[in-house]
Structure formats: structure tokens, C-alpha cells
Chain A
Amino acid sequence: MSTTQRFSWEESLLPPAMALAIAMVVGDLLILAFGASPGHIFGMLLEGTWGNAYGIGQTLYKATTLTCTGLAVAIPLRAGLFNIGAESQLAAGGFATALAMLALPAGVPWPLAALIGVVAAALGGGLVGAIPGALRAKFGASEVIVTIMLNFVVLAFLNWVVAAKIHVPESLHTPEIASGMVPRFADFSATFRGSAANLSIVLVLGLAAAAWWYLFRTTAGYELRAVGLQPAAAENGGVRLGRTWFRALTLGGALAGIGGVNYVLGYKHYYEEGFGTGSGYLGIAVALVGRNHPAGVVLAALLFATLSQGGLAVNAVVPKQLMEVLQAVVILAVAICVPEVRRVLRNSAKAVA
């Protein structure tokens, strides 16, 4: 009992830890190449993210979106499917919530309006997730390729709708919404002034908890994980694979879509072309480093948000793209370390036995 427990802990935690160490080394080298001092840069990074209220607010804001896209990747991955479509699901969610708010008559109290906005975002993202889900379930079409291709299709479509139908002249965004705005941190404490952090984070933390409950406590989650681990056994256990795949991808899409609430209802109050660019792909990194566990996803989202925000903080000295490089290094290192750590741990277990 204790040994298997220990192994699963080590198997979960060692790879991200090793990946971070590797990223630190690579980061040091790149900073040195730029003629700057790594200590100084990492100090700036911490100061610009967790060192003041504005930085904290910005980091939390980014982590909120990344938690959504991370869950959007993690849940389908638990069912054995790779969702690379969080990028467009997020955009579709943001667009749907903006559309719903623009359609809403004025005077609806904000909590009700926001609730409608969240539902709209979930529907928008969920619809984009449902397409690869249905194609996978019905025709066995690779969800990896379909979600990638769909990213381009959906983003081009939204681009057309906004540009041709409802944009504010001279801009790439919709008109401002009049209801459903989620209060910002700055509304409660002046120290957060200027930062984008808003109460969406409470909703998203709740969603992460719900995702955990769903995956590990419900019958549907039991079936979903069985499908991901061993589809043939799940099928023999009466689980319909196609239905589970469809459900997992739709759910993932909906979660990514809700990420759009953070921007549209919580921050800018309109939908803008490219508001979440990169957050969808980073969701893959978040899910991977968070080991597809909702708690891990929240922590990993904080890590990647820190790197993103930190990139801006250090941009004056080293280019912010340094952080993109480091994020990539973390992903690659985790991808390499996961199978390697498992192999080493299981071999050493055998040697003992």
C-alpha cells in the first residue's frame, strides 16, 4: 500500500520539479547570452509578478484564463483525447458571452446577467468542442487534427463576424456590453488599481473543484477515466466509448469557453479579436505540468501565468519571448521526464522485489 502510494506521488511530482530545474538552467544561459545577470532578471521577474498588488492582480488574471484552458485539455486527456482546440474554444466562449450581453436588455442585475454570460460562454466553447467530439465518436476522426484545423476555421469565422457585422469602427472589437460586468479586485481595494484581476477567479476555482469532483467522485468520471486508461475494458464494462469521448471534448470546450468570461465580463467588457492568443496552446502545458489533476492545473496555471506576466516585467532588459522559450522548455522537459521517471521508478521497484 505505502509503496504504491509513494510511487504515484513521485511519479506525479518528480517530472515537473525536474522540468523546472532544467528550465532554470536554460533560462540562466539565455540571460547570460544577453549579457544580463540571471539573479537580477529572476529578481525582476518575482518583483513584477508577486512583488506588488498590480503584479499579483495581473498574474491572477492570467492564471484564471489558463486554469480554464488547462482544465479544457486535462479532462479530455483523462478520457484519452488530446484537445488542441482550447485556443478557439476560448475565443468562441468570449464571443458568445459578449453577444449574449449585447442582446440582453439593460437593467438586468449583474449577477443574473453574469450567470447568463457564463452559460453563453460555456455553450460557445462547448459547441466548438462538440464538433471534434462528434467526429471522433461517429467517424473515428483524429481529434488532434480536427481541433487544430478547427482553431483556424473558428478564428477566421469570428474574425469575419466581428469585422463584417458588429465591430466598432477603427477597432477589432465589439461594442461595450452594458450589463453582466463582473466586479474587479480594484473595486474593493484601490491597491489593485489598473490590474485586470476580477471575481471570475472565484468562479474558476469553483469549476476546478467541480472538475475534481466530477473526475474522481462521480460515476461519469469513473467511466471517463476508465475510457482513457483502457478503452477495451471500459467498453466491456458497459461504457459507450463514443458518448464518453463526445462528453469529454464538449465539457473541455465549455471550460475553455468560460475562460472568455474572465476577459469579456471581468476585464475589457467587449470581445476583441485575439484576446486570448496563446492561452489555448499554453493550456496544454498547464494540463501536462499539472498532471491532468484539477489541483495540479490550478498550480501550473499560476506558474505559467507568473512566467507570462514576468516576461513583461523583464522586457526592458531581456525580451519577453525568453519566457515563451522557458515555457516550451518546461513542456518538453515534462514530456521527456514523465515516461523516464516512470521507467526508472518501476525498474527500481522490480530490482527491490
Chain B
Amino acid sequence: MTTTATTDTPALALTGIAKAFGPVQAIRDASLTVARGEIHALVGENGAGKSTLMRIIAGMFTPDAGQALVDGRDVTGWDTNAAIAAGVGMVHQHFMLVPTLTVAENVMLGRELTKGWQLDRAAAEAAVRALCQTTGLVVDPTRTVADLSVGEAQRVEILKVLFRGAKLLILDEPTAVLSPPEVLELWRVLRTLRANGDTVVLITHKLDEVIDISDTITVMRAGRTVGRMATAGTTPSDIARAMVGRDVTLAQRVDTGVIVPANSAPRLEVRDLTVRGTSRARAVDQLSFTVEAGEIFGIAGVEGNGQTELIEALAGLRPADSGSIRMDGHDITHDGVAERTAQGLAHVPEDRHLRGLVLDYSIADNLILGRQQQYAGRLSIDAERVSANCVAQVQAFDIRPPNGDLPSRALSGGNQQKIVIARELGGERWPSVILAAQPTRGVDVGAIEFIHARLRAARDSGAGIVLVSADLTEVLALSTRVAVMYGGRIVTVIPGDEATPEVLGGWMTGATREGAA
């Protein structure tokens, strides 16, 4: 079919797209129309299928069913090269930059400028500078990518796509790693691109961003596109309703507990903690807070503001550069993971596939991970106690299928997370301190409620809980107090019943500042 693209031919039209990965149906039925020259927001909760859908357009996956048109041309099932050639470019959530190469080298990789036999570095650098000029992006083409800040690295990603002549840009959660000024900078660039006639698809789950920048919104839920609306005249709660599929009061507050005045030491006391991050010297910067018994201390914040490093330092996985951590009055700053566990620290790690479970170990073996020394017999692990523990936990936490010999790899995400929760919260005595990082990420609704109930039960039994979650609803539903992390610091602590998304949002984005509030 040869259709000449007219002005009303949509830049992108998807109909009836479906895609499965093994037994997981990532996309069931998705349709999307994006007009030329607009900024289109694709919104939905984590796991709704947004990224998968966009990767199909970028040629990284082939759909199982459905049709994809770009500028009216059928491009279903094309590959990355064809997508690039047709002017479709994707800016990935996880940067696809080679850290040892320079900005200019990264930009021209795969589409190199040459002079005779050699690469033409000067031409590549000139091309980058020219693109910077037209878009307002600022970055030095001769620098090595490893030396760039996160915001600069993202600019290189956008430059890479533009260098390939992209007219349709897909940005996957671009603000997840940006500071508020960098977000504003990004919006400025996107508006410039729109003014130049380019089309932008923005994947996000942040509603304020959607309202800020987009012209049109498409909502995805559980692998389907469930709504399309013009941004003008839409409210965040309209979008939220479509995202979740039911009416939600955005700050659904259920039983956040009250702090019982304690006559003993606080459960957890963090003083002036500074932690070095993988890329930043002070990922956690002189941070102090206290968690009392019977309290859930929620930490909200845009991802990448030091939450991961903080939790790792509290768990004993990352050394503290300075400052101290005390649990029940004892200094644990220099203790290893095992010592902290023995003293009553429990940790639900943010990435269960990486840290939470040994995926090839059976359910029974995973249920003792971190407590294996307690199961040591005289010459071997006490297999009877391991299996008794497994039977009890599988039943108490409703882990399915209820067969302790199965490798954990074979279970669904929700049931895998239940193994972690059972292990950390299901012991004979309650832990003193629980670190819960993204405890319900990628977990189905039933399991979410179950996990929330367990956390509340732990709280009521007198544990002190640190909760980190990217899901603001979750933070608000559980936290006795809510702290906001921004740039490695806690910028505010708000009592749970005074916290609202609006108030927190201001602090999370750096819009509200100390002294100004």
C-alpha cells in the first residue's frame, strides 16, 4: 500500500497490538493514534505495557498481532534499523550510552561520519553543536560520557535520536532521573521540537507532568489502551480513574497508625549519614532521622534521589562514608548484613530478582536465605526444620503453587514477593526494624493488599518500618510520617494525616523549599 502522507495522516497509528513474552501477556489489545506535531502522553501504572508498546514501534519487538502505521505506511514487525531510517527514535529509560566513548562518538555510533578510511570526529562534533543550537540542548561533544551528569547523559540520548533524523521521538520515563530544573529544561526542549514540527510520545506515570506538557493523552491499563483524551480540560483525577480502572481518592488513607510515646530508645536512629553512590559522591548527604517503635516512616521522592543508597547503607550492603546508624540503641554502623539480621533487622529489597531471591533455589531454600546460620545442624543444614519452616510459611502467606521444592524462578511476581515478605516478616519473633523498599512493585492487587496488611501488623507489634516507594498512593496509605528525599537529603517530614500528593509533590520536585514553605 502506498499512501502519500498528508497533513492529517497521523504520525503514528497502532491498532489491535498484542505481545506476549512466554506465558506473560504484556500487551493484550492496544491502539494508539498520535497526530503529527503534538506531544502525546502515554500514561499507565508500572507494568501496564507502555514501554513494551513503544519498543514495538522502535523495532525492538515484533508484535504477535495488530498493525502499526508510521506516516500511513505499514511498518508492522520492522527492525531497529528500519525504524531509525523512517525517523523513529527512542530515548530509553536506562541510558543506552557507552560510557568510555565521547559524546560525539556515542551520537554517531551506527551512523558514522567518515573521511576516507577514518572517522570524521570534527564533523561529528560540528553536527552535535549544530543540533544543540537548534534545540537548545547544551552539552560538550568532546567529553567522555562517563563524566557526564544524569541530565547531560539524557541530552546525549536525545541528540543521538535527533542526529538520526528522528521526526517521531519516544521518551520512556524521561524525568525519573531528573532534578526539577532539569525537568523544566527538558520541557523547553520538547516544546522547541514541537515547534520545529516534530512529534513526541512521552511515556510516564506522573500525572502532573502529563498536564504540564502534553497535548493529548492515551491511558493504558493491564496491557490495553483504555482511554484517549485531550489534555486541555482534563484533570489529574480523570486520568487517575482511567489508569486504575475505578474511582480513587488519590490519597487513599487507611490506618496509618499513631506513634506510641516510647520509654525506650528509638527503633532506628540515623545521624548525619553520608553514603557514596555508584555515580555520585554523596548519594546520601548528611541525612538524619529517627524511626520510633510502632511507626511506618515513609520516604517519598523521585527515584534516583538517594533512596536506593540509603536503604543499602541501612541494610549493610553499602558502607557509610560518615555518620552513624543505631538500632535499638546499639551502633550498627560498621556491622555486616548478617550481624544486622541477627540483631533484628529485616529487609525487603527493591529488586527481588537481583537481591531478594536466588531464583534457581527452591522456595524452601529461599525462605531461609539470610537466616541460614540459624538452620545449621551439627554437620549439615537441618533439612527437617527447613522443610517445616517452608510448609508453615507457604501456608501462612498463601504462596502458590504450594510446593516448596519448586525453583522460585517458576513463580509469578506476586508469589515471589510473598516469599521475600514471608522470610523477612514471618519469623518467630517480629523484627525490630523493617526496611521495605518498593514492597509491592510489579505485584498483583490481591498481593498488594496482603503485603500492606503484613506491614501494618508488624507496625502494630512494635516494629519500626522504613518504607520507600515510588508509588505515592502506597506511601500515603501506610505512612505514620512521610519524609521526602531530594538530592540525597530529607527535605521535609510531614505527619501522615497532613500529607497530600500536592504537598509532597512540591517537595519531591524541589518546587517547595526549606524556608519558603
Contact = CB atoms under 8 A, between A and B. Distances in A.
A353 interface: yes
A237 B423 CA distance: 11
B358 interface: yes
Interface in A192-243: 213, 217-219, 222-223, 226, 229-230, 232-240
Contact of A236 (B355, B361, B372, B376): B355
B410 interface: yes
Given A218-B379, A236-B317, A238-B337, A4 B407 contact: yes
B295 interface: no
A350 interface: yes
A232 B317 CA distance: 9
B22 A350 contact: yes
Q: How large is the interface on B (under 10, 10 to 19, 20 to 34, 35 or more residues)?
A: 20 to 34
Contacts of A218: 376, 379-381
B369 interface: yes
Given A222-B372, A237-B337, A237-B369, A232 B354 contact: yes
Nearest to A218: B380
A316 interface: no
A226 B380 contact: no
B359 interface: yes
Contacts of B360: 229-230
A40 B347 CA distance: 65
A219 B356 contact: no
Contacts of A226: 358, 361, 369
Contacts of A235: 317, 337, 355
A1 interface: yes
Given A219-B376, A350-B22, A353-B22, A236 B315 contact: yes
Contacts of B349: 236
A239 B405 CA distance: 22
Nearest to A230: B358
B365 A230 contact: no
Nearest to A352: B23
A239 B361 CA distance: 15
B375 interface: yes
A237 B381 contact: no
A229 B358 contact: yes
* A interface bracket (residues with beta carbon within 8 Å of B): 20 to 34
B336 A238 contact: yes
Interface string B308-343: 000000010100000000000000000011100100
Contacts of A219: 372-373, 375-376, 380-381
Most chain A CB inside 10 Å of its own CB: which residue of B337, B365, B376: B337
Contacts of A238: 336-338, 341, 370, 372-373
Nearest to A346: B22
B25 to A, nearest CB: 12
Contacts of A217: 379-381, 383
A237 B349 CA distance: 11
B379 A4 contact: no
A263 B360 CA distance: 39
Nearest to B404: A1
A74 to B, nearest CB: 17
B376 A234 contact: no
A230 B381 CA distance: 20
B196 interface: no
B466 to A, nearest CB: 16
Contacts of A230: 354, 357-360
Nearest to A349: B22
Interface in B22-67: 22-23
Q: Residue among B358, B359, B372, B375 with the most chain A CB within 10 A? A: B358
Contact of B358 (A4, A234, A240, A353): A234
Contact of B406 (A1, A237, A239, A240): A1
Nearest to B386: A222
B406 A4 contact: yes
A350 B372 CA distance: 33
24 contacts: A1-B403, A4-B410, A217-B379, A217-B380, A219-B372, A219-B376, A223-B372, A229-B358, A229-B361, A232-B354, A232-B355, A233-B355, A235-B337, A235-B355, A236-B317, A236-B347, A236-B356, A237-B358, A237-B369, A237-B370, A238-B337, A238-B341, A239-B338, A350-B23
**9 cross-chain pairs, A with B, having the tightest CB-CB distances, nearest first:** A238-B338, A217-B380, A237-B370, A237-B369, A236-B355, A238-B337, A350-B22, A219-B376, A230-B358
Interface of A: 1, 4, 213, 217-219, 222-223, 226, 229-230, 232-240, 350, 353
Interface of B: 22-23, 315, 317, 336-338, 341, 347, 349, 354-361, 365, 369-370, 372-373, 375-376, 379-381, 383, 403, 405-407, 410
